[in-house]
Amino acid sequence: MTITFASSERSTVGIEWELMLADRDTGDLVPRAPEFLPALKEATALERYTITGELLTNTIEVTSGVGDTVAAAVDDIADAIASVRTVTNPLEIELLCAGSHPFAQWYRQQVTDKTRYHKLIERTQWWGRNMMIWGIHVHVGVEDVNKVFPLIGALSVYLPHLQALSASSPFWAGERTGYASNRSLVFQQLPTAGLPWPLTDWSQFEGYLDDMVRTGVMEDATEVRWDIRPAPRWGTIEVRACDGMSTLPELAAVAALVQVLTEHFSRELDEGRPVPSIPPWFVRENKWRAARYGLDARVIVDAAGTQRPVVDHLLETIEQIAPIAEELHCAREFAGLRTIVAQGASYARQVLVAEAAQGDLHEVVRHLIREFRAGPTLREHLASLGH
Q: Could you report the per-residue pLDDT of 326-381, keeping only the tens digit for each?
A: 999 999 999 999 999 999 999 999 999 999 999 999 999 999 999 998 754 545 54
pLDDT in tens, 299-309: 999 999 999 99
Mean pLDDT estimate for the chain: 95
pLDDT digits (tens, 9 = 90+) for 85-107: 999 999 999 999 999 999 999 99
Instruction: Give the residue from 89, 69, 79, 81 showing the smallest Cα distance to 19.
Output: 81
Give me the amino acid identity at 385.
L
What is the pLDDT, as a whole number, of residue 381? 47
- Single-letter code of the amino acid located at 84: V
* Domain chopping of the chain, boundaries: 13-384
How many angstroms separate the Cα of 16 from the Cα of each of 61, 134, 175?
A: 7, 11, 28
Residue 230 bridge partners (DSSP): 237
Query: What is the Cα–Cα distance from 353 to 361, expressed in whole angstroms?
Result: 8
Class of domain 13-384: alpha beta
Distance, C-alpha 278 to centroid of its chain:
22
pLDDT band at residue 28, thresholds of 50, 70 and 90? very high
Per-residue confidence (pLDDT) for residue 383, from 0 to 100: 56
Q: What pLDDT, in 10s, does the model give residues 138-192?
A: 999 999 999 999 999 999 999 999 999 999 999 999 999 999 999 999 999 999 9
Range list of H helices, 215-360: 248-270, 280-293, 310-327, 331-343, 346-356
Dihedral class, residue 173 (left if φ above 0, else alpha if ψ from -120 to 50, else beta): left
